[in-house]
Structure formats: C-alpha cells, structure tokens
Amino acid sequence: MSPLEIVRLIMSFIGGGFFVAVGNWIHANRSARREREIARLQEQLRLLYGPLWFFTSQNEQLLKLANSVQDAHQEFFTGKWSSDETTQNRLLEAGEATTSLGNMYVERVDENNTRVMAILEANWHLTDLDDVEIFSRFQVDHARFLSEVKQRGRAKIPLSIVMILRPICFIHPDMIARVHTAVQQKRARLAELRS
C-alpha cells in the first residue's frame, strides 16, 4: 500500500466518524434550541401573556357591560320627569342605582388594571419587542388614571390644559387585540414545536 492509499484509508475511517459526530452535534443543537424555545413560550404564557389574556378579556366584557348599563340608563331616564314628588324621587333613586351598577363594573376594570400592572412589572423581561410600546402606553395611562382621576390630581388644573392632554384610556382595544393574538400565536407555535 502506498502512503497515499494509507492516508485515504485513515481519512475514510476518520471522515465517516467525523460526519456522524457533526450530524449528532447539529441534531443536538437543534433539539436544545427547540427545547429552549418551548421553555420560553411556556414561561411567557404562564407568567405574562396568559394572565394578561385573562384580565384583558374580562375587562373587555366588563366595559361592554358598563356601556350597556349607560345606554339603558340614557334610554330609560333621559327626559323622565314627574310632577309627583314620590314618583320623581323613585326615578332619581333608580337612576342613581343604575349609574352605581355601571360604576361597579368600571371599578372592577380598575382593579383588574392594577393586577395587569403588577403582572407587567414582575414579568417585563418576557415581553415581546413588538408589544413594548402597547404595554408602555397602558402603564402610562394607568399611572395617569391613578394620579389625575382617582387622586383628583387634575382638580385645579385649568380645563384648557386638561383638554390638551390626550384622553386617559382604561385599556386600549389594540392592547386587548394584541394580547389575544399573541396568546393564539404562542399556543400555535408550541403545538408546532411539540409535533
């Protein structure tokens, strides 16, 4: 056997093992990457997007309910007047009770938003980059609501300045939609990775 043939023989033994080792390394690397992605998605769903989905879905329904109460109040009590004092007092009491009911639903939204804030603060590191702006806007609106509305921080601010500030939104519809979409996408991706 010539030295060249010996080198070829050695390379064929090494080469076969080498390719198997490289193939195993590539497979192990892909599996590890897949497992890390699965773990990340599960953590996001368990600690951030799942809880956000729960509270934003509830808020969406509570706000619809509060609007329905307000519409019913408007329809039933607007323009109602009675010359009979007893009847008029009953109308006023019923109107106030209806308003209180709507306010209870809105108060529950406020309580949920406080929980959403806590979830965001504790799990901000799990936020997708696409959601940072939407979640940040929610945090600012919540802080404004606490300062300007609940604590009556704008009570002595001139109306012209209050009107310049953008409105405070309990929870933006785009945040609700984004959280719902993110949960669906993450669940679908998990199913894909597990199959």
Token reading at 181: 């979409």
Residue 158 pLDDT > 80, yes or no? no
Token reading at 186: 């993450």
Residue 125 pLDDT > 80, yes or no? yes
- Please give the helix or strand (H or E) that residue 26 lies within, else none: helix 3-44
Cα separations in angstroms, 53 against 49, 93, 152, 185: 6, 37, 30, 13
DSSP tag of 149: I
Q: Are 25 and 75 in contact (CB under 8 A)?
A: no
| List of residues 6+ apart from 138 with CB closer than 8 A | 113, 116, 120, 171, 172, 175
Higher-pLDDT residue of 162, 139: 139
Average pLDDT of the residues of the chain? 85
The alpha carbons of the chain give a radius of gyration, in whole angstroms, of: 30
pTM, 2 dp: 0.78
Residue 181 pLDDT > 80, yes or no? yes
Q: For position 161, what pLDDT does the model report?
A: 73
Report the pLDDT averaged over residues 52-74.
94
Domain boundaries of the chain, sorted by first residue: 3-194
Residue 122 pLDDT > 70, yes or no? yes
Q: What single-letter amino acid sits at 139?
A: Q
Q: Are 179 and 56 in contact (CB under 8 A)?
A: yes
